[in-house]
């Protein structure tokens, strides 16, 4: 049996070193896919009104704001003006988090100890002709057009790049992945709470949203004990 194991391993070939060009090509491919997906979703008009869509599409094509030669991180899909309004959250608070602000017309679609999904009201009541497995709006594990909050061990992230900011007295980093910006908040010595907004929020709105987020200690402790995996509730 060990002969087969050895033979199969040899068959798979050596694990090749990866060049910088290959990595850049992979990342560029991923960024294009994200843009295509987002554009298609916006065009479908499933999340926002026509006016908001027009504004969102307009800012999609814009370039990052440049101030004194320094590139400013773009939150979410790069909103430079407020197309969504943040309001006080008045719904039932999640079990493991307290949230102060949400975009107007959004609700908590999923709540578990490792995170939250905050989705537009349109996701509440799928019509009879909707297939939730096809339309990702109704899938609480799909974050397209939504805000996701999730906890993760710091060891999983490694070194982070981005603007360092203060969020409600906590150190945080605005980390850009393609056209999406994550607000990565340090909530303990070994756990981050990441706010990922795939909706047109400005940088100020994303920081305000993060400042209003409180993670309960029990959830932080539970995530701190994990080793790169998330237990089921």
Partner 1 sequence: MFVAERRGPMLHTARLLTAGDNHLAEDLVQTALTKLFVSWASFQQAESPNAYVKRALFNALMDERRRIWRRFERPVAEVPEGPGAPTAASTDPELAQALRALPPRMRAAVVFRFVHDMDVADTALALGCSPGTVKSQTARALDKLRTSLTPLIPQGATR
Query: Where along the sequence are the contacts to partner 1 (CB under 8 A)?
Result: 1, 3-5, 7-18, 22-23, 26-27, 29-31, 33-34, 37, 114-115, 141-143, 148, 150, 152, 156, 158-159, 177-178, 194, 196, 228-232
Beta carbon of residue 192, minimum distance to partner 1 (angstroms, whole number): 10
For the CB of residue 169, give the shortest distance to partner 1 in the complex, in Å: 25
Between residues 55 and 99, which has the closer beta carbon with respect to partner 1? Answer: 99
16 or 127: whose CB is closer to partner 1?
A: 16
Nearer to partner 1 by Cβ, of 26 and 166: the residue is 26
Q: Inter-axis angle of helices 20-44 and 50-60, to 10 degrees?
A: 160
Q: How far apart are CA 39 and CA 72, in angstroms?
A: 22
CB atoms within 10 A of CB 167: 23
Q: CB of 31: closest distance to partner 1 in angstroms? A: 7
Paired with 23 in beta bridges are none
Question: Which SS3 state, helix, strand or coil, does residue 138 take?
Answer: helix
CA distance 114 to 150: 6
* H helix or E strand, kind and range, residue 5: helix 2-12
For partner 1, the closer CB: 9 or 217? 9
């Amino acid at each position: 049996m060990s002969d087969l194991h050895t033979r199969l391993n040899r068959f798979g070939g050596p694990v090749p070193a990866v060049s910088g060009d290959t990595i850049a090509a992979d990342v560029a491919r991923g960024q294009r896919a994200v843009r295509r997906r987002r554009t298609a979703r916006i065009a479908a008009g499933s999340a926002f009104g026509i006016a908001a869509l027009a504004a969102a599409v307009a800012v999609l094509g814009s370039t990052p704001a440049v101030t004194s030669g320094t590139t400013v991180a773009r939150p979410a899909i790069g909103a430079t003006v407020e197309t969504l309004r943040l309001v006080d959250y008045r719904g039932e608070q999640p079990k493991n988090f307290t949230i102060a602000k949400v975009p107007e017309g959004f609700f908590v679609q999923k709540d578990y100890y490792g995170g939250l999904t905050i989705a537009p009201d349109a996701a509440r009541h799928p019509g009879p002709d909707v297939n939730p497995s096809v339309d990702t709006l109704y899938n609480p594990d799909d974050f397209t057009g939504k805000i996701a909050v999730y906890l993760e061990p710091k060891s999983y992230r490694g070194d982070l790049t981005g603007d360092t900011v203060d969020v409600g007295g906590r150190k945080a980093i605005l980390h850009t992945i393609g056209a999406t910006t994550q607000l990565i908040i340090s909530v303990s010595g070994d756990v981050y709470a990441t706010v990922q907004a795939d909706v047109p929020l400005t940088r100020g709105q994303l920081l305000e949203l993060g400042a209003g987020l409180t993670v309960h200690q029990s959830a932080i402790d539970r995530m701190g004990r994990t080793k790169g995996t998330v237990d089921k509730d």
